[in-house]
Structure 1
């Protein structure tokens, strides 16, 4: 589950009609292209959680390798899982720097910091709206809003230091994962010891009982549970009130304890990488072609290899968790942050090379349009998918096979590409970009495009 950064047009701030840092066409165009790609790609990861019970992930991993759902899951997990969210996070960091690069006006009541924090706080509100009104548990806007509040002191930091901070966030996540892995291994050892003692008719200590219960619970979680699936499907096919009541504790957990334990470090790691790469000129297409080719090869070589090995680890764990723990094999999933960052940079490098070669200008334009309206398109995905799958809409929740969900993805892609292109022929920005921008500056922004005004592809911060 993964989410989105937003775009800015050259006419963004009415009080500052010319914001020069936003007018460098190469930087602007390429960021919008990458953002559009990430916006469309994130639906690949989100659609299973819109249309199927979250417990169905275990069922997918338990299928025979020849099954179309298994093969679809293998491709999506290896190539896209976590990478679209990584790109969004990197671009969010770039967007923050672009916004904060605006010159302060000594004669003005508010400075750039005031507008930045107002903008970011409104993003938190939109995230809560997405989670608790549109009822999408996978919202990312809240995460970006909270993380955005922390970025102001880092705006002038050098790329190397930003990368070091990103590395620290990754180390924290690795440490958390290591502690969890050690706890699982201890529970496994306690479980095996408990079995031996029970055979000998010996009484277990409270610690041994606890370890045994924890391991039994884990084995239960990694087995398909049709009864649990049916319960979730029944709730998600209910009325709005039923779905709201069912999702409320999940959404509260995701935007509170789960956020502070995991999501904040996950997002900040990629945000700081994005800030560093933006300062180095990576996203603005300023680096030599040779470096983009090297990044493409290295990113895909490292990321896709680790992604495939991690997927195989997941399959093995679901089929026999005890054997995996007892074998002491290397847990490739522990390298999750490295592999998703590497693959994300591979995706970005490929797009930048295509943009530079000008071989598919129509595709670059289509992605740029979607990227320029990323905020509107992101929330639109929540609206469309909940109305297709939830009970208060068409009620298709749990009715489509895993691979069939991607037919829905293709349809939404076509719609959003066409909608974005048509909308930007007549308006300067997306409808929700306009709302967010007006709230940021507390003043109604110009919306309709002048008759003789040509579309401007840009990608900065709203």
Structure 2
């Protein structure tokens, strides 16, 4: 078995995760990074409130972890491919991480503040500590970190009056700037606007240090799955997928309880932080089982695969489209469309990009941003890692004498 071959199932799962990510991110595009959790400042209807709660339970914090899982998976597969070709994987990983950091910086600075690429690039260096570890070790570390991270969610309290007032001021300013401001005004607000919280420098530094640990569990679970060769032969793993799919009701139950308790309850945070990744693992394996049963000729399956193969291009394109719709320099619909309508718009945007991805991949092997990333990663215009040339075999005179027969008499 070729353990480092490309898995079309993984491509399809990655494509599905991008749909959920867009649906969750639509809240940020519509209401802002902080406004999405302060919906009362936007005079929401009952439909908006119900839709918001449904997104929090079924979508938010449960599709990005799938993408995170697959990032860890791809790191292991990339290492396997490079080592098989006799190449040093550390250099390629380093170049790839630096490029993701650069791309994420440009994305977050000039397009949209909700970028995740910069973090993925930075956490790649941290994950190098685990890339050689055995699957069992990765699962143990991932489980321990998941329990630890979930425990951090305990004790969420209502903000003080001063903090609430500061949040209100910030959200109201963001509504005015994002809905009617020019590109320059929005850029300056994001760059120089006063954030709605006061954290000492030491606490900010601590957050930066522990952030990789908080997101590490799904990375590590993905690396373990890759080392065990999961998702390469879906039809042979259906029973495994179905067993793991049983995590869906567990994750939904935890997240539903967290939403119903409300942010002021001390247990709400821990329920949400534990329920999100568990639901993600359930979703991931349920879709893998559906993929195993489906025909490879299914248009829907091929669409998910196409989006997954061009995930980076599609992720960035989604940002450009959505800021053009909601921000003042575009259609200026910030805070005006509605939660359910925004979700339906996300599905429409995804469908259009899926169709474009299918057409694109009929002519090209990968998306344009993926191609540039591969060129930089492998330092090759072809975008492929070049196998290390084999050293020429030199003749050993002593060996030749030993194999020669006696001279003819």
TM-score bracket for the superposition, by shorter chain length: 0.7 to 0.9
Q: Deviations over 1:90-134 (max 9, x none)?
A: 00000110111124489x8x7222112111111111110110121
Report the structure number with the largest CA radius of gyration.
Answer: 2
Deviation at 1:139, TM superposition (A): 0.9
Deviation at 1:145, TM superposition (A): 0.6
Determine the C-alpha separation between the residues in 2 that align with 1:164 and 1:36: 28
* SS of residue matched to 2:340: coil
What is the match of residue 353 of structure 1? 289
1:143–1:259 CA contact under 8 A, matched in 2: no
Question: Residue 230 of structure 1 is aligned with which of 172, 177, 183?
Answer: 172
* SS of residue matched to 2:328: coil
Determine the C-alpha separation between the residues in 1 that align with 2:142 and 2:81: 25
Deviation at 1:249, TM superposition (A): 5.2
* SS of residue matched to 1:268: helix
* SS of residue matched to 1:426: coil
- The correspondence of residues 310-329 of structure 1 with structure 2, limited to 5 A, is 310-314=258-262, 317=263, 321=264, 324=265
Determine the C-alpha separation between the residues in 2 that align with 1:249 and 1:272: 36
What is the match of residue 291 of structure 1? 240
What is the match of residue 387 of structure 1? 324
Superposed CA RMSD in Å reads 3.1
1:97–1:275 CA contact under 8 A, matched in 2: yes
250 and 163 in structure 1: CA distance in 2 versus 1, 3 angstrom threshold: farther
- The correspondence of residues 33-182 of structure 1 with structure 2, limited to 5 A, is 33-53=12-32, 54-59=34-39, 67-104=46-83, 111-134=88-111, 136-178=112-154, 181=156
* SS of residue matched to 2:339: coil
2:153–2:273 CA contact under 8 A, matched in 1: no
Determine the C-alpha separation between the residues in 2 that align with 1:55 and 1:389: 14
Determine the C-alpha separation between the residues in 1 that align with 2:84 and 2:348: 46
Deviation at 1:240, TM superposition (A): 1.6
* SS of residue matched to 1:404: helix
Deviation at 1:219, TM superposition (A): 5.6
Determine the C-alpha separation between the residues in 2 that align with 1:291 and 1:266: 27
Aligned residues: 374
Question: Residue 240 of structure 1 is aligned with which of 175, 183, 187?
Answer: 183
What is the match of residue 219 of structure 2? 271
Determine the C-alpha separation between the residues in 2 that align with 1:83 and 1:68: 22
1:61–1:70 CA contact under 8 A, matched in 2: no
1:30–1:283 CA contact under 8 A, matched in 2: yes
What is the match of residue 203 of structure 1? none
Question: Residue 410 of structure 1 is aligned with which of 347, 364, 373?
Answer: 347
* SS of residue matched to 1:32: helix
TM-score when normalising by structure 2: 0.82
Deviation at 1:21, TM superposition (A): 4.0
Deviation at 1:440, TM superposition (A): 1.6
